[in-house]
Amino acid sequence: MTGGRVRTFVLAFALSGGGAFAAEPMSLGGLRLTLGGEVSGSLSPRDRGFFNDTGYERNPLHLLRLRLTAELRAGERLAGLAEVRSEDLAAPRVYALYVRVRPWSRRSFDLQAGLVPPVFGAHLRRSYGPDNLLIGEPLAYQYLSTLRADALPATPDELLGQRGAGWRTNYGSAPAAPGLPLVSGVRWDAGLQARWHGERVEAAAALTQGTLSQPRVREDNGGKQVSGRVAWRPLTGFVLGVSGARGDYASDRSATSAVVPASCCRQQAWGADAEYSAGHGLLRAEAVWSAWGVAAWRAPLRARGMSIEGRYKLMPGLYVAARACRLGFSRLTGAAGTMPWDAPATRLEAGLGYSLRRNLVLKAVFQHNARDGGRRRPRNDLGAGQVLWWF
């Protein structure tokens, strides 16, 4: 454990213990400004199998995150929202920045434009505060595959040669770089979004620059993504959701020795999610199916991510939680035979959470990771702790 990591963890704990305050709106002429924030510090041994790496080369089990949110309202129909993050004391970056318009005051319908929240799936709505029951992320929203948007494999053998090395892949003369997850949980996309809420049903749709696995602020391939989600609440505490998305993920400047036809490289994805809560218990399940077209290859590369998680409150302020994930890949034929195009992975994570205050939570987890093949350690067991404070 390095001295710098210890200092960041101590800083997070000190900030979290500094006391909470209510984020009361402030009046600025005819405007109302509301501020919020979150500080979290996580500490774990080094993940030598790179199971928890993200596209920004961060590890949620070993991370200091500072997050500030702001909402500026002009009446009931117009608002501007922003979120800025700093991770491991790096320079802050804008995570969200969009305008929300509500055309009709008596209808639960709004339009959003800018760097907007994702509409696909359910997990990304739970990444704030205590909504993430554990510390890690489901594999479908974090684990890096060996497919890249900026450097496409020219042949099946080139892709199969990278199995299990999504944190650092090499194709042709392109520099080594991380691959793509099924759904990126570390960036939001730029575009337009519409949302509607009814008593039992809610729906959202978006048109964005990038795709689920490769969000973008600047357009680099001439394509757009269309995505959407519909959720149904048949009973109190019970939610069922379905999602879909389709868009061009690869850059026009992708480094590859293959001939890349126009609109060759689309990502298509489907999702299903469910949640049920009653009494002291909470149960969630989610599945994501994704397919990426690659250059002139006839069949797309497919992947599927499944997760199930639950929480049970043992006593006031104390809960136990667990999550199981599996990530699988379609089979591809190369010179060495037929095998999954990337190494399938499994994650089991379980732990405890305790609320010292309403907005101050301590978490302790144990995480088991396994990979069916690849060049690095096929198994990795980690313990981690986190302190989380928000206002």
Interval 83-126: pLDDT, tens: 999 999 999 999 999 999 999 988 899 999 999 999 999 998 88
C-alpha span between 299 and 341 (Å, rounded): 12
Residue position matching structure tokens 């519909």: 230
Contact residues for 80 (Cβ-Cβ < 8 A; gap 6+): 71, 72, 98, 99, 100
Q: How confident is residue 19, by pLDDT bands cut at 50, 70 and 90? A: very low
Amino acid at 356: L
The alpha helices in 192-328, defined as continuous H runs, are: none
Q: How confident is residue 14, by pLDDT bands cut at 50, 70 and 90? A: very low
Instruction: Report DSSP state, residue 136.
Output: S
Say if residue 17's pLDDT is above 50. no
- Asked if 195 and 203 count as a contact pair (C-beta separation under 8 A), the reply is yes
- Mean pLDDT computed over 122-144: 90
**Secondary structure of the chain: what % helix, strand, coil (to 5)?**
5, 50, 45
- Grouping H, G, I as helix, E, B as strand and the rest as coil, residue 114 is strand
Interval 164-214: pLDDT, tens: 999 989 888 888 899 999 999 888 999 999 999 999 999 999 999 999 999
Query: Where does 88-146 show beta strands of DSSP type E?
Result: 93-101, 109-116
Number of Cβ atoms within 10 Å of the Cβ of 283? 14
Within 13 A of 24's CA, how many CA atoms are on the CB side?
Answer: 3
Q: In Å, how far are 52, 92, 117, 143, 276 from 191, measured between CA atoms?
A: 28, 22, 10, 25, 32
Nearest alpha carbon to residue 302 among 270, 334, 257: 270
- Asked if 141 and 124 count as a contact pair (C-beta separation under 8 A), the reply is yes
What pTM, to 2 d.p., does this model score?
0.88
Interval 34-92: pLDDT, tens: 999 999 999 999 998 899 998 777 899 999 999 999 999 998 899 999 999 999 999 99
Own/partner long-range contacts of 375-380 (Cβ < 8 Å, ≥24 apart): 375/163, 375/164, 375/165, 376/48, 376/49, 376/50, 376/164, 376/165, 377/48, 377/49, 378/49, 378/164, 379/49, 380/47, 380/48, 380/49, 380/51
Please, which residues bridge with residue 355 across strands? Answer: 361
The DSSP code sequence of 265-305 is -EEEEEEEEEEEEETTEEEEEEEEEEEE--TT-SSPEEEEE
- Mean pLDDT computed over 24-32: 81
Interval 289-332: pLDDT, tens: 999 998 768 889 999 999 999 999 999 999 999 999 999 999 99
Question: Percent of the chain at pLDDT above 90?
Answer: 70
Q: How confident is residue 265, by pLDDT bands cut at 50, 70 and 90? A: confident
Say if residue 270's pLDDT is above 80. yes
C-alpha span between 20 and 391 (Å, rounded): 6
Residues in the chain: 391
| Degrees, nearest 5: CA angle 225-229-231 | 175
- Mean pLDDT computed over 6-26: 46
Question: Percent of the chain at pLDDT above 70?
Answer: 89
Tokens of 337: 């035979």
Which structural domains are found in the chain, ordered by start? 3-390 (2.40.160.10)
Contact residues for 367 (Cβ-Cβ < 8 A; gap 6+): 52, 61, 135, 136, 347, 348, 349, 381, 382, 383, 384
- Asked if 44 and 62 count as a contact pair (C-beta separation under 8 A), the reply is yes
C-alpha span between 161 and 391 (Å, rounded): 47
Q: In Å, how far are 124, 208, 258, 287, 370 from 380, measured between CA atoms?
A: 25, 36, 36, 24, 7
Own/partner long-range contacts of 16-20 (Cβ < 8 Å, ≥24 apart): 16/41, 16/360, 16/387, 16/388, 16/389, 17/360, 17/389, 20/357, 20/358, 20/359, 20/360, 20/389, 20/391
